[in-house]
Structure 1
């Protein structure tokens, strides 16, 4: 007679390149929050062809756009975004070349913002196509290289300096590519965001990340209406002139479920319309204990990126509750500038640290992520489970470190006296709201 195993099965949340099991206490009342499942594309290559040639949005097909052009620049996101570049870069480039653009006049530009460059094996992983890597010019954007930037003045609305990468500005055909997902400041990633801050100069980026933008109540995930960052990005795109975009949407398995191409603003809006209803998940209540992830690799490579996952679930966290974050941090902490900002946070405390930011026109590099962390610290207790940070790193996270996530969940339940727990396996790719 078979033996029945009545042991509770663990929940799995995204962690590194795999998953982390969570074994809940027997008395736990668990609400698991996931995106609404979207139908997978049966033929990804055919879907990309349709987007580029048969169903472009607000523009002619790519083959027509490329006619008579002397050069092209294609922006791709850096390694922090799991964009399926391997699926579309070669078809795009071959279409351009067939239309008459010389192959040696096509540049693929990695939109690093102020992140480090992607080189070597990491660049090969990012591009995902050996032919593109071997045959096409690939460059990283360097936001602090003034010689590599073109000054286009300032925005009329808020005076943001507009300095952008020369390869992109001076190309005859300009195309941004990216992933449309919730972004905790700009509303949604992709489209215009790949240009600014993606290939913007450091002054542009540091203006975007100053307190006057980041403390604006409309600069939040999934909101474009009245969002000052989004409005500035649109003005910058219009200043540049003719731009196009290929936008992708992925499901929880990182499979392509939507691709749009066309005029940059219109094609991005179409992708946002597609994904918004599945990503924003109504929950109907708040919880005193919330467990979430940093969405796994590549978003949980550093503690810097981890903070995104600390902000996106705040609408369902009861004030004074506990937010437990799991993030591998396989690459460690982040930049030296971010480390310095975190040290100031620990030394000054949240209130004094924020006071130092409010008077600045330009934020210091990477201190904006520390500022975003304040939003979760103001609301409740934040705990971090990680296997990738050393003791020095852990000391300046500004949050409580836990070494056993199952025990941390049990202790959080006991501390608040409530068995109800919300679990968000895919972290910041899911936006729950009460």
Structure 2
């Protein structure tokens, strides 16, 4: 018997797996960091991909919009690299008063002053204001064009009015767009609500009953309509430069890319794939995954990414056990709860999603879709009655989860253990 210590809320659970059943532990690939964080940041800025240095792109007297993430992307550790980006702009002749900092909130809520300080740091908050993008503020949105997918692109007016747009953020796998980072700072970051929803709706297949478009998913760019629509939208505003960080397995900045918003982003995606893209030889009967403990497992909505990653490692009809405390229950907004609680079959959920699309509904739909194709057991504090219609079994202990699984399917189940389930993305060779 091999025991794994897996994060659950603010503690660790002991997860026993018979060694003869264990295919492997799926975790991030070895990634050696030989530079300090400061060196990583400086090297990327001084050696941009596909473009000149930022200080050589801008000119004195020009205005710059610096697009940064919002507080939900705090893992990107923006205060560590924003001062260096602004130093580059200053060296290029750009004065502080000619720099506008916009937080790419997408459809998220407005942020507090304290959160703004967390985003840019104590030094910069004394020099700059942070403007939260409001996707519903039509007076501060401007139409820039329509994509080949029929998406009318309305972008933050203050950003468009600047001479340069600089995108700053980070790259991880993304369940719809393939990878985050790069063009996502524009769409969904600083566009209208309708533009965001039209884009994300492209992740649905064209035919009712077929559910999700299989080309719109983690690690996919070519042929992915969500990504391609984002690229067309970004081309309308022509970002001058990007800076994106990549995290190493311990959650620290392990690499960074800078330069052309297309070429640098592609190189960044390759680095993410080399760290978190884990090749597997076969799909398993069972995957046991942790969402990563608090706050990644604060609710089911947050833990959904672990479910999405774990399904990649399991045969259809197999079992997925996810450790996710869900101390705040289902999470998300009323749309999430509507999809989870008010239907008892996938087709009706899909009809509702198509009738009035929202990203919150979509994530809830994906959770139910996974539970329709796999046996999903949640080790959680969540009220099990909340998940009955979603076809998810909720239990309090890993022992209960394993007992149910072995009773249903026998004890000789080929098993993967995912100790970093929210990050690692299994790919069949």
Relative to the length of structure 1, the TM-score reads 0.88
Q: Corresponding residue for 2:48?
A: 56
Structure 1 window deviating more from structure 2 (89-98 vs 219-228): it is 89-98
Deviation (angstroms), 1:85: 0.8
- Give the corresponding residue for 2:234: 237
Other structure's SS at 1:320 match: strand
Query: Pick from 70, 74, 77: which aligns with 2:66?
Result: 74
2:282 matched residue in structure 1: 285
Instruction: Find the aligned partners of 1:124 and 1:391 in 2 and give their Cα distance.
Output: 39
**Alpha-carbon spacing, 1:71–1:162, altered in 2? closer, same or farther (3 Å):** same
Shift of 1:191: 0.6
Distance 1:113 1:396, change over 3 A: farther
Secondary structure of the residue aligned to 2:76 is coil
Q: Select the residue among 377, 382, 386 that pairs with 1:383.
A: 377
Residue 304 of structure 1: how far off its partner (Å)? 2.1
Cα distance, 1:151 vs structure 2:
1.5
Q: Is the 8 A contact 1:179 1:247 kept in 2?
A: yes
Could you say if the C-alpha distance between residues 13 and 144 of structure 1 is closer, same or farther in structure 2, counting changes exceeding 3 Å? farther
Aligned length: 418
- C-alpha separation between the residues in 2 aligned to 1:246 and 1:376? 34
Deviation for aligned residue 1:348: 4.2
The answer to whether residue 31 in structure 2 is matched with residue 38 in structure 1 is yes
Question: How far off is 1:238 after superposition?
Answer: 0.8
SS of equivalent to 2:262: helix
Q: Which of 108, 111, 120 lines up with 1:118 in the alignment?
A: 111
Q: Are 1:172 and 2:166 matched, yes or no?
A: no
Structure 2 CA distance, aligned partners of 1:348 and 1:432? 30
Q: Do the aligned partners of 1:342 and 1:398 also contact (CA within 8 Å) in 2?
A: no
Deviation (angstroms), 1:277: 3.0
Q: Deviations over 1:304-348 (max 9, x none)?
A: 23212211222321222221122344555112332233333xx34
1:24 and 2:16 are equivalent in the alignment = yes
- SS of the equivalent of 2:273 reads helix
Gap change, CA 1:15 and 1:104, over 3 Å in 2:
farther
8 A contact 2:8–2:323 mirrored in 1: yes
1:303 paired with 2:300, answer: yes
Residue 316 of structure 2 corresponds to residue 319 of structure 1: yes
User: Which shifted more, 117-126 or 164-173?
Assistant: 117-126
From the superposition, tell whether residues 316 and 126 of structure 1 become closer, same or farther in structure 2 (CA, over 3 Å): same
Runs of 5+ unmatched residues, structure 2: 206-211
Counterpart in 1 of 2:196?
205
Kept after mapping to 1: 8 A contact 2:166/2:239: no
Alpha-carbon distance change, 180 to 138 in structure 1, aligned in 2, over 3 angstroms: same
CA distance 1:425–1:78, shift in 2 (3 Å): farther
User: Are residues 139 and 327 of structure 1, via their aligned partners in 2, closer, same or farther at CA, if it must alter by over 3 Å?
Assistant: farther
Aligned to 1:5: none
| SS at 2:126 equivalent | helix
* Cα 1:115/1:225, change in 2 over 3 Å: same
The change in CA–CA distance for 1:104 and 1:259 in structure 2 (over 3 A counts) is same
Does the 8 A contact of 1:237 with 1:243 survive in 2? no
- State the Cα distance separating 1:71 from its structure 2 match: 2.3
**C-alpha distance in 2 between matches for 1:171 and 1:305:** 35
Aligned counterparts of 1:412 and 1:112: Cα–Cα separation in 2: 41
C-alpha distance after superposition, 1:338-367 (max 9, x if no partner): 2233333xx342222113334x4x613521
Contact 1:288 1:416 in 2 (8 A): no
Asked whether the equivalents of residues 341 and 366 of structure 1 are also in contact (C-alpha less than 8 Å), the reply is no
Partner residue in 1 for 2:336? 338
The 2-side partners of 1:14 and 1:171 are apart by 45
In structure 2, the residue matched to 1:89 is 82
Please give the secondary structure, in 1, of the residue aligned with 2:154.
strand
Q: Please, what TM-score do these two structures have when normalized by structure 2?
A: 0.89
Aligned to 1:369, which of 344, 363, 374?
363
Unaligned runs of 5+ in 1: 1-7
**Alpha-carbon separation, structure 2, partners of 1:121 and 1:385:** 34
- Give the root-mean-square deviation of aligned CA atoms: 2.5
8 A contact 2:6–2:15 mirrored in 1: no
